[in-house]
Structure 1
Amino acid sequence: MAAAAGMKVAAGVRAAGGGRMLAWRLHSYGGLGELRLDNARVPPLRGTDEVLVEVHAAGLNPLDVGMAGGYGSRVLNMLRQLEGSEMEFPLVLGRDLCGTVVRGGPAARLRPGTRVWAALPPHRPGALAQFVVLRDSWAGEAPRALDATSAGGALYAALTACSALRAGGMLNTPRSRGARVLLLGLGGVGQAALQLLAAGGAQVVAGCAAEQAELARRLGAAEALDRHAADYERALEEGGPYALVLDCSGAGGWAASERRWRLARYVTLSSPLLRETDARGLLAGGARALADLAAQNLALRRAQPAEGVTASCEPHVRWAYFSEQHAQDDIALLKSLADRGQFTVCVEQVFPWWDATAALERMARGHARGKVVLDFTAEAPPSDGARSF
């Protein structure tokens, strides 16, 4: 049986400090057709604060599909080099996971046997493998309230939401209580942001598809606006003033100035930074992206109604990304919320570990209404013994 074989592999890794594993690896940029299931070496611990985790479930994100085509490769390679690695390929995708700590460095907080959830920054080897090494500040004890597939698809989106709300001044602060916030888009990041805002006492208006209205209210939205309705634009403009508009829909920073709404902050997850650096190089691309941000801010300030939101807060645009800088604190916050029933994860579909290509193809089609997760505890197909753990 695959599960029993997996236990034997894990036991061997614990005892010998090495061993082999199966990993989904990309050997060149060119899309999902370059993805291969390889027999690879179990990665060693290199830092005193690192842990080796046996993966039980791994979540997928749109970034994984983009990375398969080379998206962000210039910046990510620079970050790898700053950490002393020249390795670009083979590239293991997957940013989320839930699993069990197998081994830890002397400075690691998390001990062997601990059930953890974790998120990996994009420049590090990912979670679509039987084992993964990560800094223990990127992981924490998994909430008891979440099963492996929910916990395995949670943290990359949730930590990105934390980063966006921190940029908007609305993460776990008194300022969020009673604040009126407009949330555009209800994908993985949007769902996490909505729950964080609701837990902080914000009054959230969600702009989403009509079929997501019930979900939005269940997650804590005070109001859900149908983005396909004829009066949607008017409802957005008349629903303010907003202390924060959080764009999780892909509208981008230029959309901040396209409506006559009143707002203090506009935070978007869609910036041109990686696209520009891919096209122009690190220096020229970075300079072009910063020029875009300055122009977006100028356009927003010119477009604001004369009465504005407050005299003391000039409206501005900010970009937000996944960041590991506050990961340990944010993971602790999310665990606390999950164990109190204030944070959950909507899982759309679970694929067995041998079907990663189909799972990523589902991500590539877009419009997912929940997380797509790979189950690394699934039994291998009887006819595919070569692939069993």
Structure 2
Amino acid sequence: MSAAEAAGAPRRLASPAEVVAGLAGVYMAQSVIGGVTFQGLPAVLRQDGASLSEIGMLLVTVAPWSFKFLWSPWVESYRLPAGRPHRSRQVVLIGGVVVMAMMVGAGLAGPGALGLLMTLLTIAAFATATVDIACDGYAVETLSERHRGWGNAAQVAGAYAGTAIGGGLFLVLVDHLGWAFACFAMAAALAALCALFVLGRDGPRPPRAADAERPNLRAALRRREVRYGLLLVALYVVGQKWAMVLIGPYLVDAGLSLTWIGVINGFGGMGAGVLGALMGGGLVRRFGGGRVAIVSMGLQAAVTLGFAVSAAYGLHGAWIVAALALLNAVVMAVGFVALYARLMGYASLDQAGVDFTLFQCADAIASVAGWLGASAFGDALGYAWCFGLTGAVAVAATFVLAPAFRRADAAL
């Protein structure tokens, strides 16, 4: 305890900028693991002769992110003890230590022990998903409405930057310094990224009432604003994400070289995503999350229909399809910053981690369903029809979003 606290002086609270910086570090750390798992490790395994079916088994590690709502009430109950200080930092610290231990274990195991690696990375995914519950709940409670856009910008930008570290820098280190060193370096990076949050000061958080109901899923689903929030997520995923699975294959079939595709998906995608996230944070603060989300959906429809026109008329010039792909990344980042900034307002301060986790899991499940559908019909219908249909769905979603936002706001 400091001398000021011992003397009864009020403890200095973190500024919104400090809170956002701490959140950004944790979100980056979470995405480092995703980058290693879904971009770095597949490349290493393929280089070592692993089959595509073996590499595909890594998809099992995404399960904790789709179903983390199942244990979110227990995380929130621990994080928010009634009448006592919150334990957000303890959750992040414990989860971070587990993830770092898994990365050290992966470094010692080596890339040849695929079964052991999958076990370690699944445990790491479970830990990072648990940390995400606590981190999101803390963000909802701490950031005022005018700063929530920046909080979600930190989440989206952190995801892009963390993926670049785990999927890019990791491979460079493997290539030049070896697998073990690369894994140990990722563990050190995780410690550095989480330190600002774990060691930082609290923001202005309202205390949880001593008689508040224990966090649970039924309490979340009883609230109309949560149910409308789930509807908004579904509408947004249908309009914005269902075409994503087609873009990568379309770039290949349009004749772009692997170098071009690497630049677009790597440096270009990260830059566009971070730019979109920062733009989204500023626009949400100025115009509000709902308005920006609706406009972004309209722009997403235009970009998707642009892909349809490119496919239908054979407009496969490298600069044309690259511009569409990068514009898609910018618009998508702006849209999801805006959407989740608005969804923060629908989460109860008594169990923000549970409510917000439900929104994210609905996003993940709807995305996977759409990607499976687009993949199944892609060969039969062709790119022009698939992009055209998903673009039309985005147009319809644009018109449905405004009344859906109004109904959700009325339920508050």
TM-score by length of 2: 0.24
Q: Which has more strand, going by share of residues?
A: 1
